Chains A and B, each alone.
Chain A
Amino acid sequence: MYSFSYLQIFVSLIALVIDIFVQIFSFRFILRLGLLKSVYLGFVAGFFGIFLIEFYIVSTRLILINNNFIFILIANLVIYISLEYCYFNFVNLGETARRIRILWELCDSKEGLSVAEILERYNAKDIIEKRLSRLINHGQIICKDGRYYIGNSTMLLIARIIVRMKLILLGKKSEFE
């Protein structure tokens, strides 16, 4: 009987690979899901992958389901969730990050771009229009008679948490203070 399996070390990484593969495949080829839903589907697939592999380890390698096994499983779940969170943010950065967009515009322009040229391609008006559209589509804000109101308050809660974190880490509520 063994109390430890080498395969257990890599379970979370294998699960992440399953996650990414399922996410890309489902978005691109199969179910034509929205980007966010495909990320959730990938996460669930990777999550099940962890339990399948752990079940395999237990059933074929005769490892005891003891405290050590449980703690390693918990650690693997934490690792997987953290890595999945990183992947989710990577996807989100590609979708929404201003710095990535600016870099992309510069990548497309071999001669470089002046500030005015960057703003011709990507500016505050574009950002606001896209953000408003996204917020409305997700129900975070609603538009009534040309004015905007809070809908679902999830984003508002996230905004308030971020402001608290700014106060703790940076000593101010906004980068412009």
Chain B
Amino acid sequence: MKTLFWGSVLFCMALLLHLVIWKVHIPQRQTKALLRIFFGILTMGILTLWITSSLITSFSLLSPKSFPEYFHIFLFFTSLTLGYIITYPGVEADSPSLLIVMKIAKSTPNGFGKEKLFDMLTDDLLIKPRIRDLVNAKMIYIDGDKYKLTVRGILFVRMFILYRKLLNLPKGG
């Protein structure tokens, strides 16, 4: 009960703070900002629970008492947070599959031709904004007219390359 209750309360507080901040100003590096907000709330929340433990109990509320209970709350919150953050880039950027499906849906009942898709969904829409995102996220940098990987970019992409090679799969995209 403690894990479900306090984990959910902290997660909802983090979501609320995220929404409020986004209404005021959307940060340039959104994923980094989300990590700071969510884990900031988690840290302050767990510290508050620990410090006010006897006060919470005096109100007949359940208070975590032991390290395993705090760790379980941490795990619960972190799993929900990671789930939200991994979904977020799909909200931030327009997915080509979803764009295609929406355009086809709008063309009902006449259908949508392939050539029209190529005309509407160009490199300027699908590729160049993603290159800019990678520069903003400091995964790549520009050296003259060439883009190169930063250390962060190398470490990040190697996870995926290793996994795809383990499954003997080709490059995705």
- Residue positions of A touching B, CB distance < 8 A: 4, 6, 9, 12-13, 24, 27-28, 35, 67-68, 71-72, 74-75, 78-79, 82-83, 85-86, 89-91, 93-107, 111-115, 117-119, 122-128, 130-132, 134-135, 140-141, 144-150, 155-156, 158-159, 162-163, 165-166, 168-170, 174-176
Cα distance A101–B110 in the bound complex, in angstroms: 34
* Chain B residue nearest to A155 in the complex (CB): B101
* Chain B residue nearest to A89 in the complex (CB): B86
Q: How many A-B residue pairs have CB under 8 A?
A: 233
- Residue positions of B touching A, CB distance < 8 A: 1-4, 7, 19, 22, 26, 68-69, 71-72, 75-76, 79-80, 82-83, 86-87, 89-98, 100-102, 104-105, 108-114, 117-118, 121-123, 125-131, 133-134, 139-140, 143, 145-149, 153-154, 156-158, 160-161, 163-164, 166-169, 171-173
User: Is B97 a contact partner of A134 (Cβ separation < 8 A)?
Assistant: yes
- With both chains docked as a complex, state the minimum distance between the C-beta of A66 and any C-beta of chain B, in angstroms: 11
Q: List 10 A-B contacts (CB under 8 A).
A: A27-B167, A67-B1, A90-B163, A94-B169, A94-B172, A124-B121, A124-B127, A127-B96, A131-B100, A155-B98
Point out the residue from A79, A104, A111 that lies within 8 Å of B160, measured CB to CB.
Answer: A104
Assuming A27-B167, A107-B149, A128-B96, is B160 touching A148 (CB within 8 A)? no
* Chain A residue nearest to B139 in the complex (CB): A103
User: Is A79 a contact partner of B79 (Cβ separation < 8 A)?
Assistant: yes
Q: Contacts of A146 on B, CB cut-off 8 Å?
A: 113-114
User: Is A106 a contact partner of B140 (Cβ separation < 8 A)?
Assistant: yes
User: Is A122 a contact partner of B173 (Cβ separation < 8 A)?
Assistant: yes
